[in-house]
Structure 1
Amino acid sequence: MEAGSCRYQFRIALLGDAAVGKTSLLRRYMAGVAEPEPEPTVGVEFYRRELQLRAGPRVKLQLWDTAGHERFRCITRSFYRNVVGVMLVFDVTNRKSFEHIRDWHQEVMANQGPNKAIFLLVGHKSDLWSTRCVSAQEAEELAASLGIAFMEASAKNNCNVDLTFDTLAHAIQQALQQGDIKLEEDWGGVRLIHKTQIPRAPSRKQHPGPCQC
């Protein structure tokens, strides 16, 4: 379907420590198949996908895959102002990546634009049960303390990957409908896409026109 059929563009960033699997999640979402272990992200990489929201319009998602290494933080911070959605990703087998989530959240909150971003906490690599060291209960408690939702996912076995992106996009749409998010001319988090009108023959009267595997 052409971009003109989309009503909005939502800009969403994936944040979290290095090697938690942000790129794997994105590539599984984009391609629908598991890919070999990707190289570490340098700076920011961009992806685009259209999505038909549940009981809502069709939207274009602009997805930002950010580097988790500290040396790239000055680059990624500059993007926080212009995002409407943030997926905070940790590795359920990496305790430190979970403990750093609060820092990532605070960093975004301190560098936001005119609207507050909608967050979703994602516990990645949920298929690695034998080496997991962060329980779903712990993650749910952290999410509750931050006032955000929590889900688990696995790019490897395609568990909840589409659902995480769908859930975040739906939450953004709801906030937009309720007036919690407002369109701002100089803000890139949400953009209204003007649908191109198809020329018509002249007429006398014009009509306006936790893991659920």
Structure 2
Amino acid sequence: MVRQRAPSGASTASSHSASAEADQELGSMYDYLAKIILLGPSGCGKSCLLHRFVRNEWRVLSSQTIGVEFSSKIIKVGTGARRKRVKLQLWDTAGQERFRSVTRSYYRGAAGALLVYDITSHPTFTSLPTFLADARALASPNLTVVLVGNKADLSKPPASGPVSAQEAARWASLSGISVSMETSALNGDNVDEVFARIARMIVTKIELGEVDPDDPSSGIQYGDSGGWVEASTARRPGTANGWKNGLREWESVFRGGAARRGGRCC
């Protein structure tokens, strides 16, 4: 009995499908997972900043965050053999005072924080010490902080007066923050760089031994790239599975609980 050959088109389609699935699986793998929180007063553009980074588009209609919103994105850090894929687990927190007792609970276990203010509003800048103090008290002991002046596209600030880059840099230095940047969620200026910068700073701390991803309080976990991770000269299994299950739980809880209501972008 002669077996008939499958049509070449079907074979090619099957091959392309398998290749696409493999590429998709590889694209979802990462070396480290880091929890990053976005902090700052209401109306400074945290949600718009996050939306621009994750979806690369301007959020036309925005409203005040109630509690927290959750998102994630994988980015590449470094080049060549030292390149790492880092999954940023992003927590957008409410900036209004009445939600402070709720949002402070989300600071725990954060590896990094973007401290955001509106460069056209001095009051949003002067309120930052409270957010910074809470984050340092509740997040990882090795919390990495980047100061972010948002709404850099606005050339005509209101009467409250703008916050200059020099003033922001001075305060950052006095507050032990090594990096301060200005961004625009509207046109995307420096948005990707801000998130890439904090990821690079965290990876550098890991490589220097300042942060141990095996420490539950670090806010960082080993990922699933290759299923193995290096530790000095020893090799041991990656520990991502436990946190993956936790991530699924967080997503179900916080996606459902992050209801929003009308107001300014925050």
**What is the TM-score when the length of structure 2 is the normalising length?**
0.70
The one-letter code sitting in structure 1 at the alignment partner of 2:207 is Q
> For 2:185 and 2:86, how far apart are their aligned partners in 1?
23
Is 1:121 paired with 2:156?
no
Out of 164, 175, 192, the residue aligned to residue 146 of structure 1 is 175
Assess if the C-alpha contact under 8 Å between 1:26 and 1:65 holds in 2: yes
Out of 182, 186, 208, the residue aligned to residue 178 of structure 1 is 208
Is 1:156 paired with 2:183?
no
Assess if the C-alpha contact under 8 Å between 2:77 and 2:199 holds in 1: yes
Is 1:24 paired with 2:24?
no
Counterpart of 2:132? 105
Deviation at 1:184, TM superposition (A): 3.7
Deviation at 1:54, TM superposition (A): 2.1
The one-letter code sitting in structure 2 at the alignment partner of 1:12 is I
5+ residue gaps, structure 1, are 198-207
Assess if the C-alpha contact under 8 Å between 1:43 and 1:72 holds in 2: yes
Q: RMSD in angstroms over aligned alpha carbons?
A: 1.9
May I ask how many residue pairs the two structures share in their alignment?
A: 198
Q: Which is richer in helix?
A: 2
The one-letter code sitting in structure 2 at the alignment partner of 1:119 is V
Deviations 1:158-205 (A, max 9, x none): 1101010000111111111111112245336101123466xxxxxxxx
Deviations 1:64-112 (A, max 9, x none): 0000011111121112221000000000111111001111111111223
> For 2:199 and 2:61, how far apart are their aligned partners in 1?
26
Assess if the C-alpha contact under 8 Å between 1:4 and 1:194 holds in 2: no
- Structure 1 range deviating more: 47-56 or 87-96: 47-56
> For 1:51 and 1:85, how far apart are their aligned partners in 2?
15
The one-letter code sitting in structure 2 at the alignment partner of 1:48 is S
Question: What percent of counterpart residues are identical?
Answer: 36
> For 1:183 and 1:166, how far apart are their aligned partners in 2?
19
Is 1:9 paired with 2:33?
yes
The one-letter code sitting in structure 2 at the alignment partner of 1:151 is M
> For 1:189 and 1:123, how far apart are their aligned partners in 2?
24
Assess if the C-alpha contact under 8 Å between 1:183 and 1:190 holds in 2: yes
